[in-house]
Amino acid sequence: MPRPVIEAHDLKKHFKLKTSIFQSILGRKAVTVHAVDGVALKIVPKEVLGLVGESGCGKTTTGKVLIRLLEPTEGKIIFNGTDITALTQKEIRRLRKEMQMIFQDPYESLNPRMSVYDIIAEPIRNLKIADPDKVLDLVSKSLEDLDLVPPEEFLLRFPHELSGGQRQRVAIARAFALDPKFVVADEPTSMLDASTRSEVLKLISSLIVKAECAFLYITHDLALARYICDRIAVMYLGKIMEIGPSEEIILKPAHPYSRALLAAVPVPDPTLKTEEITLKEVPSALHLPSGCRFHTRCPYASSQICMKTEPELTQIEKNHYVACHFPLK
């Protein structure tokens, strides 16, 4: 096994909510949102790890903490063998060219006052990736890699002159122009139509192999994760409930939550019976359930152990781990 590009050990990110003056007078303590609560993962070069789960489970926060856009509350982040958890912002800045993020909304992530050339050239110049006389060539090559050809037609355009698919390709080109070793993609194709999505995913896959980078693909679409990811990690209320090879997670899910997510994927057969999550609200990240945090919605929960003891990630097959007292077969 090659050495992991990125590792997380018991990674946590908690947000403390401020109390009002009235609440302070009443003696109420500040409450904490457990956005990421003990995540452990590893990604090796050329590997795509899919992070899936419902909205609000902590997927995006995990990605931002891994590249230090958000500061971790606890835990360790190891990048290329170096613990970067305690590095200063000045030291992290030196690593920025090696850790990049592709944001979900290209309408928000691109500066509307900058041309396509300036959008891609800015990080190249600031991080001194290339000599000044070679910046244009590097920007043009980045556009060509994303099928924005001929690049001369796009260099002087502004974001409002591009389609949604073209905007997202520019955002992807900006990230890969720096030749990063670790990339976080936060649902980069969710705002694209089906045909454009397929083309962009193929381009991303080729760029991952070319750059030999580790790739974290954040999505709520399990069908899409199966297509692009080598492994899938299923996240719920800040914790990873199951992680393993994509085909095993899709064909043999061991956690009830994984099965419920798969049951939510539309199928062409209306008579097919699927498993559903118990119809209850998702618990608040402010007040997590005791024991297994999924037990309030789990159809297999035992009141004795599931409510009292939090399960640990346990290996059930080669490279397949699940955090459940009663893994399904």
pLDDT per residue over 51-71, tens digit each? 999 988 999 999 999 999 999
For the chain, what is the mean pLDDT?
A: 90
Query: Are 124 and 178 contacting, i.e. CB atoms less than 8 angstroms apart?
Result: yes
DSSP string, 25-83: HTTPPPEEEEEEEEEEEEE-TT-EEEEE-STTSSHHHHHHHHTTSS--SEEEEEETTEE
Structural domains of the chain in order of their starting residue, each with its CATH number: 6-253 (3.40.50.300)
pTM of the complete model:
0.92
pLDDT band at 24 (very low <50, low <70, confident <90, very high): low
| pLDDT above 70 (res 314) | yes
Tell me what pLDDT residue 26 has.
Answer: 64
Distances from the Cα of 172 to the Cα of 8, 55, 116, 158, 200, angstroms: 24, 23, 12, 16, 9
- Worst-scoring range by mean pLDDT, 68-82, 109-123, 281-295, 315-329? 281-295
Q: Which residues contact 126 (CB under 8 A, 6 or more apart)?
A: none
Q: Tell which phi-psi region holds residue 31, choosing left (phi > 0), alpha (psi between -120 and 50) or beta.
A: beta
